[in-house]
Chains A and B, each alone.
Chain A
């Protein structure tokens, strides 16, 4: 990104009200008590997301959540300690293919490719075709990763941890979350976790459902999911936006294409609606007795 586009993106962020208001966080009060229940919140990344971006996306989720937490209702939500985790969906091979294709087909140098990775993932005319298979076909996702994710959720929900779990997957991560769900909540191996202790809150989902009656948010301005929806009309319908004019917002320099997780958590209505979905899901899982 050059200086002009960086300034423009920051300006637009200010104009669009995307400036967060958090400060440095104090430790959660509930986390100071060993007796307080623990709830695990997982971020699962999509395709073309490196480990660094996954860490930042998870951090953004944590910052926005902690900013919202004091005003969340019911008040009982404040009495849980929320712990954040990353279940990584390996994408280095896809990123390599993607960056090579971008350079060959669009003539972009490596630095610009990295600057525009998220933009091109959503906008590049030859890029969408590269991503549609991995984004929509369950047989193209990494089964070892699915198993690893399921085991992590199950370990959280059973003894000795006995935690509730909310999973927030983005993009292709929704396929991973749905695929891991059944294994995570199934009866074997013993002990089985409590029913309802795991909820999914999908973001920018290319899938046709959210397992466990979970919630989801896809923006009307998400051009990548929109392109998938044209080919696969059974894709879940858009139900949020990044502002009054989602198409215009989707062309802001940093978040072009309207698909990035960072954008979903930077613009309203999507940010507030995703946090409300998490809040509702937490209320539901917190009502479940675990390890009884």
Chain B
């Protein structure tokens, strides 16, 4: 126990020392891709064009790309309808189904795949705030989860 506590204390000191450079390490030169909340969606498929392009260019297989697009469409709807509580709950449910589909398609690495896609979707403060506002509407709602054997059925 004592060794563990010393190790954690050393770790805590290390983090304070090492993270002095966090800002410079993580600042990105990636430009904001669109000024508006909605962004451009030339093909009107419910997914921003820059996100469509990212999914198309990724190395994922066709089924994973469909799962990513399913999530992206639900997230875009969440952003656009963030002021509507009822629609927000519906869209969080849609996001859950898309994530269950992604877990079925990529059980070994769904988490990093999700993190990167969401980071690209929430590329501006207004979009990030809208996403969190939508979450706020659904936070106290019991949204049903599909069991693992039904996740594949969540894929659209």
Contacts and interface: CB of A to CB of B under 8 A. Distances in A.
A227 B12 contact: yes
Contacts of A19: 108
Interface in A88-102: 88, 90-93, 95-96, 99
Interface of B: 1, 4-5, 7-12, 14-16, 18-20, 22-24, 26-28, 30, 92, 95-96, 99-100, 103-104, 107-112, 114-116, 118-120, 122-125, 127-129, 131-133, 135-136, 138-140, 142-143, 145, 147-149, 151-152
Given A52-B114, A229-B9, A220 B4 contact: yes
A62 B147 contact: yes
Contacts of B100: 55, 59
Contacts of B23: 105-108
B84 to A, nearest CB: 16
A133 interface: no
Nearest to B126: A110
A131 interface: no
Contacts of A247: 7, 10-11, 14
A202 B103 CA distance: 24
Given A20-B107, A125-B16, A226-B12, A92 B132 contact: yes
A254 B115 CA distance: 9
B139 A66 contact: no
Contacts of B128: 96, 99, 110, 113-114
B56 to A, nearest CB: 16
Contacts of B1: 237-239
Contacts of A86: 143, 145
A106 to B, nearest CB: 4
Interface residues of A, number: 81
Contact of B123 (A22, A110, A225, A246): A110
Contacts of B136: 90, 92-93
A214 B46 CA distance: 46
B122 A254 contact: no
A28 B149 CA distance: 8
A55 B127 contact: no
Interface stretch (A144-152, A160-168, A205-213, A280-288): A144-152
A247 B95 CA distance: 34
B8 A9 contact: no
A66 B151 CA distance: 14
Contact of B5 (A22, A108, A110, A229): A229
B149 A111 contact: no
B5 A238 contact: yes
Contacts of A109: 27-28, 30, 123
A107 B27 contact: yes
Contacts of A257: 15
Contacts of B115: 1, 114-115, 254
Given A145-B139, A233-B5, 20 more contacts: A1-B112, A51-B95, A55-B99, A56-B103, A56-B114, A88-B139, A99-B128, A106-B22, A108-B28, A109-B28, A111-B122, A113-B128, A114-B118, A116-B26, A122-B15, A223-B8, A226-B8, A227-B12, A238-B8, A250-B11
A107 B26 CA distance: 8
Given A99-B128, A238-B4, A247-B7, A63 B148 contact: yes
Contacts of B120: 111
Given A20-B107, A51-B138, A106-B23, A96 B129 contact: yes
Contacts of B20: 125
A230 B118 contact: no
A213 to B, nearest CB: 19
Interface in A12-61: 13, 19-20, 22-28, 31, 50-52, 55-56, 58-60
A115 B20 CA distance: 18
24 contacts: A9-B112, A20-B107, A26-B149, A27-B149, A52-B114, A55-B100, A59-B151, A83-B147, A84-B145, A88-B139, A92-B133, A92-B135, A106-B26, A110-B123, A112-B26, A112-B27, A125-B15, A125-B16, A125-B20, A220-B7, A221-B7, A223-B11, A238-B1, A238-B4
